[in-house]
Amino acid sequence: MVVKDATYELTAFKPEQYPKHNLPEIALVGRSNVGKSSLINVLVNRKNLARESATPGKTRGLNFYNIDHQLYFVDLPGYGYAKVSKAEREFWGRMIETYLNTRNQLNLIIMLVDIRHTPSSDDQMMYQWIIGQDKPNLVVATKLDKIPRGQIQKKLRDIRVTLGLGEGDSLLPFSAETKQGRDEIWNQIRENSPKPRMNTNKRE
């Protein structure tokens, strides 16, 4: 996938602020620091489009990125960051929930977990909530480069079991360092995109 033009468009906190368009949106959810911004940067081949933050919890609103006027990535605030007040956590929770619940253009929810760790109770809750939505989803296990090759299958199994993924549910390992998994993620995004209207009279 070659991306020509990827631009940060806006940060929204409430629905009135979401960008107005009819393009498909792909949302990224996961704990702070799991690698959401890094994943966006690798997918669009930019070093620093989505700011990779060394300070967890920094991304506070919903960040919308316009990709070639074809689709949007929506970087959602990371959950599970301990050093914020309960009120702020609840505000984030509602902001994420409102978006995921009400956004018609939302086409695919990508949930990120760190391949090194068993998914937390926050991750488990999030995934249960996601599968309760009637939208396609994909789980990506990030930071693949940080574990020895021999452990990959065991870690992926652990994630599958802990989150309760079914046979048909996709789990893709990914590394922002080596870019391994990039093409597979794009394939999933493509498979879940609305089919363009074909300019042909042929019947299926």
Ligand X SMILES: Nc1nc2c(ncn2[C@@H]2O[C@H](COP(=O)(O)OP(=O)(O)O)[C@@H](O)[C@H]2O)c(=O)[nH]1
CA 173, 139, 15: angle at the middle one, nearest 5? 135
Q: Is 128 exposed, middle or buried (0-12, 13-18, 19+ CB in 10 A)?
A: exposed
Task: For ligand X, give the closer residue by CB, 14 or 116.
Answer: 116
When asked if residue 142 is in the footprint of Mg ion (CB under 5 A), the reply is no
Binding string to ligand X for residues 76 to 115, with x set by CB under 6 A, is what?
Answer: --x-------------------------------------
In the chain, which residue ranges form alpha helices assigned H by DSSP?
A: 36-43, 86-102, 121-132, 152-163, 182-191
What is each CA distance from 96 to 76, 100, 130, 193, 201, in whole angstroms? 7, 6, 11, 22, 42
* Contact (CB, 8 A) for 176 and 38: yes
Binding string to ligand X for residues 164 to 183, with x set by CB under 6 A, is what?
Answer: -----------xxx------
Q: Kindly identify the residues of this chain, within the stretch 34-93, that bind Mg ion according to CB under 5 A.
A: 36-37, 59
Task: For ligand X, give the closer residue by CB, 21 or 158.
Answer: 158
Task: Dump the DSSP string for 109-142.
Answer: EEEEEETTS---HHHHHHHHHHHHSSS-EEEEEE
Least distance in angstroms from the C-beta of 23 to Mg ion: 22
- Residue 116: contacted member of Mg ion, ligand X, none (CB under 5 to 8 Å, by partner type): none
Determine which residue in the list 6, 35, 137, 165 makes contact with ligand X, applying CB under 6 A. 35
Binding site residues, ligand X, CB under 6 A: 30, 32-38, 52-54, 56, 59, 78, 142-143, 145-146, 175-177
Binding site residues, Mg ion, CB under 5 A: 36-37, 59
